[in-house]
């Protein structure tokens, strides 16, 4: 089965947005990417904001789906955190781009209001997932602290790897941090 138009539009929009940001995506670019006219893009997503919301929704859903798959056999906290890392790593290596929400999170103040919530929840859900992956005996506050640190470092490492064109930086940082964060009780 072929991909329908909305899927192809979202693919094109995600590709562009994860490289140049929200304002680097235009309806005409998407139109030429998908071989339709820009007015037809508006048929699927009347406002750019609508497109943005759909993009974030799809991205988040795909991210957490991938996270479930990657962590399905994980038992220990360590295994779960490596699953988390693996999903981030895939986004960087396979898509050759930073996290959509990481980029939009930086541009937050310039985004239409409807997008802000999606980005915020993405990170909340990230932190929650990592918190739940950490050892049970840690306090809630301690879990929050470590989970936030892990998510922040993954995002930062992604951005730095991207901007220095050196993906190994991501590997180095996240590997170090996971072993280190778990290394002490």
Q: Which residues bind DNA (CB under 7 A)?
A: 5, 25-29, 35-40, 42-44, 46-49
Contacted by 182, from a copy of itself, DNA, none: CB < 5 to 8 Å by type: none
In the complex, minimum distance from the CB of residue 9 to a copy of itself, in angstroms, rounded to a whole number: 19
Q: Nearer Cβ to DNA, position 39 or 184?
A: 39
Q: Nearer Cβ to DNA, position 37 or 68?
A: 37
Spatial distance between the Cα atoms of 66 and 93, rounded to a whole number of angstroms: 15
Site for a copy of itself in 80-99 (CB under 8 A): 97-98
Contacted by 163, from DNA, a copy of itself, none: CB < 5 to 8 Å by type: a copy of itself
Instruction: Tell me, by CB under 8 A, how many residues bind a copy of itself.
Output: 52
Spatial distance between the Cα atoms of 185 and 3, rounded to a whole number of angstroms: 48
Q: Which of 39, 72, 136, 183 binds a copy of itself (CB under 8 A)?
A: 183
Q: Give the residue among 4, 23, 12, 44 at the shortest CA–CA distance from 115.
A: 23
Contacted by 144, from a copy of itself, DNA, none: CB < 5 to 8 Å by type: a copy of itself
- First CA to last CA across the chain, in angstroms? 50
Spatial distance between the Cα atoms of 80 and 72, rounded to a whole number of angstroms: 9
Q: DSSP assignment of 40-83, as one string?
A: HHHHH-SSHHHHHHHHHHHHHHHHHHHHHHHHTT--SHHHHHHH
Contacted by 36, from a copy of itself, DNA, none: CB < 5 to 8 Å by type: DNA
For position 106 contacting a copy of itself by CB under 8 A, the verdict is yes
Torsion angles phi and psi, residue 25, rounded to 5:
-105, 125
């Amino acid at each position: 089965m072929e991909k329908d138009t909305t899927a192809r539009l979202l693919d094109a929009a995600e590709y562009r947005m994860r490289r140049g940001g929200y304002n680097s995506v235009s309806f005409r670019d998407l139109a030429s990417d998908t071989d339709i006219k820009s007015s037809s893009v508006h048929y699927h997503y009347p406002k750019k904001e609508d497109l943005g919301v759909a993009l974030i929704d799809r991205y988040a859903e795909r991210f957490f789906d991938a996270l479930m798959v990657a962590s399905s056999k994980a038992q220990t906290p360590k295994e779960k955190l490596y699953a988390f890392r693996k999903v981030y790593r895939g986004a960087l290596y396979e898509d050759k781009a930073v996290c959509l929400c990481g980029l939009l999170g930086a541009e937050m103040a310039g985004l239409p209001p409807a997008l802000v919530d999606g980005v915020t929840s993405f990170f909340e859900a990230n932190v929650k997932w990592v918190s739940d992956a950490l050892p049970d005996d840690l306090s809630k506050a301690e879990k929050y602290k470590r989970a936030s640190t892990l998510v922040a470092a993954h995002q930062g490492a992604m951005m730095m790897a991207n901007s220095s064109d050196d993906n190994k930086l991501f590997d180095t940082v996240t590997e170090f941090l996971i072993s280190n964060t778990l290394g002490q009780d």
